[in-house]
Amino acid sequence: MPSIMAASRSNPLLNSLPRFLTWRSLGFRTICSGRLGFAPSDPDPEPPVSTAGTKFLETFREEFEIGSRLITFETGKIARFANGSVVLGMEETKVLSTVTSSKGDSVRDFLPLTVDYQEKQFAQGVIPSTYLRREGAPKERELLCGRLIDRPIRPLFPAGFYHEVQVMASILSSDGTRDPDVMAANATSAALMLSDIPWGGPIGVIRIGRICGQFVVNPTMDELSLSDLNLVYACTKDKTLMIDVQAGGISEKDLEAGLRLAHPEAVKYLEPQIRLAAKAGKHKKDYKLSLVSDRTLEKVRNLTEAKIEAVFTDPSYSKFERGEALDNIAQEVKRTLEEECDTESLTVLSKVVDRVRKGVVRNRIIAEGFRVDGRRLDEVRPLYCEAGYLPNLHGSSLFSRGDTQVLCTVTLGAPRDAQHLDSLVGPPTKRFMLHYSFPPFSINEVGKRVGLNRREVGHGTLAEKALLAVLPPEDDFPYTVRINSEVMASDGSTSMATVCGGSMAMMDAGIPLQEHVAGVSVGLVSEVDPSTGEIKDYRIVTDILGLEDHLGDMDFKIAGTRKGVTAVQLDIKPAGIPLDIICECLEPALKGRLQILARMDQEISVPRTQDHRNSPRLATLKFSNDALRRLIGPLGVLKRKIEEDTGARMSVSDETLTILAKNQTVLERVQEKIDFIIGREIEVGGIYKGIVSSIKEYGAFVEFNGGQQGLLHVSELSHEPVSKISDVISVGQQLSLMCIGQDVRGNIKLSLKATLPQLKSKKNNVTEEPVPVIKEAPKVWTSVGNLPNEQEEQKLTDAELMLSRSTVKPSTSSNPGFLIRSAAECDEEDKTVSLNQGSKSNSKTSQAMKRDRKRKTKVPESDDSDASIYSSGHSSHTVDHLNDEDAKVVSPLSAKSLKLGMKIAAKVYQIRALGLVLDLGNGVRGMYRFETNGKRDFEIGDELLVKCTSFSSKGLPVMSLVDDE
């Protein structure tokens, strides 16, 4: 009794207690604080504490190298209860694959194989970002990887093995440098080899890339981003099982070279699996196989073969008529067997009838070279193409090949509409998406829509790979693109029809594709030697029907352009097909693809222009981050308000604003709202919307362009005189105004009348023109200090005022506008030239001034002319030479080369109330003031011969007509 012994040591009096008091039968066991305590009614002694032993986990391991990568197979350490369990490792990435099988007898007529592939975020040390912080339903990538494992292992299960089998592949750790899907497929093959499940493996799966024309084995994700080929190849020792390709338009010859390289590399996975199975594998169990007896097969064949052959040799049958006729034959045989009470044959009747149908179709194709619908082996079904089937959408098309029909639509979105991917490897987003839908009505069946369908995801991804090769780069085409493929009717290869329809819909949406992409499915019908299993004879069939897909040996889908292949998917039914036959299929696939491309080009061959359609508009604007913060507003209120008001969508990144509008009108509305909040670069001649903030006696102040203030002078309100400003505008009124300049104090000067319709002056019968829109960048700008003040400005003529109002920052146009000379540059000329138009200097002064100007400007002399004449290129007048020995020919005309007395061929640029604005060439403008009782009936564009008579105080050339002299 440990407790009593401890108490005795602490209290010596306990040693003198009678022994019977400590007897168990009395219930005394413990003493607390020097008093006796009663023990429970079942005082069993405590078990002794023992030390746990060390468990030994027998682990088996195989190591080998492929493509300079060390690969390991390991079993026995984890998942020991599974029928087969293998961990495959490559550097820091490890993948676990397990297989299990049901124990009972099977009562099915098919193999219920399930493959689940899962990527959990713990493999990269990340907590999921979902609300529950755990992984949810399988993602598209997980479904695709599951299909990649399923496709090569399914054909190797023995015929009649219908027990349920489940494969589960999980990523234990990932370094993010390589895609673990191929590793999971090889780990699954090794796990099946270790299990007691009957299976005809092993298989090897390899990935091949091509960078700068050189093939790369087991490329990393970084290498794949530079590669124009992503080839996944699965095989046994001598036969091909599965091919999956995404390419950038690789030729058939190069694709064949990649396949022939992939086969020996994939075979390197086989021997390590065999060695591992020899060390740790289980004995294969004898499962019950659901095989059809020879007696039943022969009996049903005698009853049905002739009738089935009659149906298949009649090409007038449609898909559903043929199916109904075959069902009637099966019902007749069923009634016959029921009368004979043949229970065994009734149980497998549907399976036997299907085998008879398969034999009839295959024998006719091999022996006679004719197909079910009467076509030749290499003949493509009739095609129907229609682009723009739904004109209200961004892009749409309807594509039919035989009875297969697909409707494709294109929707364009902003960059932020890209799909976010939560995968362990690969890019985080995807801006091109193709969603494939196979509704039950397309095959005249009843069904219900449930979540992601593995078949739909696989078919859509195949078409997406095919079209991705021709999508323009993101820098040239920044839209997010979504294609929806809705199968309207299905009778073979709807995924390849999706490629064709998607290509036409993208061109209909205005996406700048260089060329079309088309796809076709190629089948195989072979005759096998039953003793050796080798193929004795075979036929390659182009553009297969749904029935030929079901009864044939393979479905080889090949998509591409005229230049090369962009996507491939091979699925087979037998336990492998020789690679030579696979490569032979590339040529008929190319011929069929070219026929389809020719028909698509007849419907639409170049991308449509979207100016006349309800197409989206995408604009990318650059602002400072401070300006973008003002646009977003507190908690994004302003940004959401603009999106709600206009229906546009905006996305903001570092100093970049991207706008996606439904059409051009919506885009302009969004830009107006953004300009009002943020503002934009002020340009002379630019039109801006503003709100009148206050009214003064001399004009009104207008708030515009993100809070800037501008002055609307009373003289700029209307073409007619305004006596009272409040009669024209009011505080709070929104106006569209033109920027006409900037005064010496930096105030922006605005004009309302420049945006109003033009009026005619009754007095002079001359059209009053608004202030011209001048967006050209002048070479010389007058400094702000040399600008006239408001009083001096009122003394200038209309033409001078127009030319002096160009001091705000110009636009980025490369064409020069007008030149303004500084006052300092013209001081010397102003001293010798009278500002009065009618005055003329004497000849001596004029000659002295000309000689002085010649020395300063260093004008080259010409011996064949004694007159200073310049032709701007738009006049063919014959010019009389001046009797001025110092005048020389100057070309081209510039502000500094223009001098007094020079004759110039000019054009009327604008007609003002007091005179003309002349275009002197090379962007130089001049003035001509109307003479009293002189000619005034000019028109814009008239060609005149003028002479420079003086310069204004601002350096503007004043011209006179040569005819007036």
Encoded tokens for 855: 């020395």
At 703, which amino acid appears? E
Burial class (CB in 10 A: 0-12, 13-18, 19+), 470: buried
| Polymer length of the chain | 965
Q: What HEC string does 436-497 produce? A: EECCHHHHCCCCCCCCCCHHHHHHHHHHHHHHHCCCCCCCCCCCEEEEEEEEEECCCCHHHH
Report field, pTM of the whole predicted structure over 0.75: no
d(CA 433, CA 467) in angstroms, rounded, equals 10
Residues near 343 by beta carbon (within 8 Å), at least 6 away in sequence: none
Q: What pLDDT, on the 0 to 100 scale, is given for residue 344?
A: 80
Backbone φ and ψ of 579, nearest 5°: -65, -30
Q: Which residues of the chain have pLDDT under 70?
A: 1-52, 105-107, 610-614, 680-681, 706-707, 743-746, 758-896, 933-934, 952-955, 963-965
Sign of the CA dihedral running 946, 949, 952, 955: positive
Burial class (CB in 10 A: 0-12, 13-18, 19+), 327: exposed
Sign of the CA dihedral running 717, 719, 725, 731: negative
d(CA 427, CA 418) in angstroms, rounded, equals 12
Residue 402's closest CA among 268, 543, 222?
543
Residue 84's closest CA among 284, 267, 242?
284
Mapped onto helix, strand or coil, the DSSP state of residue 595 is helix
Contact 516, 469 (CB under 8 A): no
d(CA 917, CA 926) in angstroms, rounded, equals 6
Encoded tokens for 102: 């049901």
Q: How many Å is the maximal CA-CA distance in the chain?
A: 158
* Other C-beta atoms lying within 10 Å of the C-beta of residue 921: 19
Contact 393, 408 (CB under 8 A): no
d(CA 435, CA 450) in angstroms, rounded, equals 15
- Listed in sequence order, the DSSP H helices in 728-805 are 790-795, 798-804
Q: What HEC string does 382-430 produce? A: CEEEEECCCCCCCEEEEEEECCEEEEEEEEEECHHHCEECCCCCCCCEE
Contact 308, 356 (CB under 8 A): yes
d(CA 687, CA 672) in angstroms, rounded, equals 11
Encoded tokens for 426: 């690969």
Q: Give the distance from CA 138 to its chain's centroid.
A: 23
d(CA 574, CA 490) in angstroms, rounded, equals 24
What is residue 676's DSSP assignment?
A: H
Could you write out the DSSP letters of every residue in 24-43? GGGTEEEEETTEEEEPPSS-
d(CA 510, CA 490) in angstroms, rounded, equals 28
d(CA 939, CA 941) in angstroms, rounded, equals 6
Contact 430, 418 (CB under 8 A): yes
Contact 216, 229 (CB under 8 A): no
